[in-house]
Structure 1
Amino acid sequence: MSARTRTRPHPAPRGGIDIRLPWWALTLPALAFVALLTLVLNPADAHAAAAEPGITHLIERAQQLIAR
């Protein structure tokens, strides 16, 4: 018994696979690259966020538990 094969409803494009990306697939990585590049070029503008002591204690406790 032979298996049925599916036929394509539209012929494949001649140039190969036609892939279309959404606009954000190129824009978001480009924006992230520019933001990181500006931080590297001017590190004085990169300020660390001040964490609350409770959050810092919680993170330290989690690290201790993971290290066990």
Structure 2
Amino acid sequence: MSAAFGTSSVEKAHGLRTRLPWWALALPVVSFVALLTLLAGSAEARAASAPQSLGALLEYLARFVGVGA
């Protein structure tokens, strides 16, 4: 019954902590807020035509790889 309230010998041997660091909660919160902001701001955005955006992406990738001029 004492193992339910204290640390076990395995945790002591491996140096495991039961508390999470502060960033383990902060990173998901920051990510959620950033994605929510992007979604909220997309209401005024206009959709680009698919062939034009695909062509721009392929041109960028070609320049990045060094294939195109």
TM-score in same-fold range (> 0.5):
no
Q: Higher helix share goes to which structure?
A: 2
Instruction: Give the shorter-chain TM-score range.
Output: 0.3 to 0.5
